[in-house]
Amino acid sequence: MSRVHPNCGDEKRCEVLDDGDVRSSFTVWKKSSMSFQGMDGFTVFDQKGGLVFRVDNYSRNENLSDGDGLVLMDGVGNVVLTLRPQGFSLRRRWNAYKGEYRVFTMKRRLRSFLTKNSKDEPVDIFLQGSPRSDPSPDYTVEGSFACRNCIVRRKNDGALVARIARKRVKSTPNVVLANDVFSLVIEPGFDTGLVMGYVLVLDRICRKPASHPVL
């Protein structure tokens, strides 16, 4: 794991902005923190190399369903979110829960004739409790998660929430790591656990691997 997350002396823990707010940066590794055979998941580090989130128990076999869904835990094993596919829409619509309370729904939009050949994977996020007289989403995902090049943006004012990008080798910036390791940067004021939940759902509904180089 020391090859994936940065060393404590190499980088600051987070970036301080001019107004004093903090932008949080994480390294996401598509690998379970448990090394038993057949286990898979995610391991997420902060910039000091500390384990902050993990997902351990689900199969990546394309022929298996996710059953009861995914469980996002913090670094010590406390449940942060439970994520479940809705009905038969395994690849298109997921719900996230804190306990029994649904906190958000994510769904992948159907491609139109004009966008069917685009590498973008438009995904909408609807927060529980938001007014639904307006069918527009609370957040949108722009770009391609499969290519590790996308952002989450708040719909009403266009504010940037988070950015997902390929992980570059610090000593050789032109070299990027494989798709199973990537960077997640979250803007100040947004719940890091919820945003990590968005990442997990994106992984389930945008599975097509990247096929073109990063510029």
* β-strand partners of 108: 123
Angstrom distance (rounded) from CA 114 to CA 68: 35
Structural domain that includes position 177: 15-205
SS3 content of the chain, % helix, strand, coil (to 5): 5, 40, 55
pLDDT of residue 209: 45
Residue 211: is its pLDDT beyond 50?
no
Q: Is residue 3 part of a domain?
A: no
Angstrom distance (rounded) from CA 134 to CA 209: 34
pLDDT of residue 20: 53
Q: Is residue 212 part of a domain?
A: no
Q: Is residue 2 part of a domain?
A: no
pLDDT of residue 138: 94
Q: Is residue 119 part of a domain?
A: yes
Domain count for the chain: 1
Residue 82: is its pLDDT beyond 70?
yes
* β-strand partners of 43: 29, 54
Question: What tokens appear for 190 in the block?
Answer: 């947004």
The winner for highest mean pLDDT among 85-99, 107-121, 199-213 is: 85-99
Kindly report the CATH number assigned to the domain that includes residue 136.
Answer: 2.40.160.200
pLDDT of residue 122: 79
Question: What tokens appear for 55 in the block?
Answer: 């997902």
Q: Is residue 25 part of a domain?
A: yes
pLDDT of residue 14: 46
The CA-CA-CA angle for residues 148, 153, 154, to 5°, reads 160
Q: Is residue 147 part of a domain?
A: yes
Instruction: Tell me if 144 sits within 8 A of 133, measured CB to CB.
Output: no
Q: Is residue 213 part of a domain?
A: no
Nearest to 191 by CA among 113, 74, 112, 93: 74
3-52 residue pLDDT tens: 565 543 344 444 555 555 778 999 999 876 655 454 568 999 998 889 99
* β-strand partners of 23: 15
DSSP 8-state assignment for residue 87: T
Q: Is residue 88 part of a domain?
A: yes
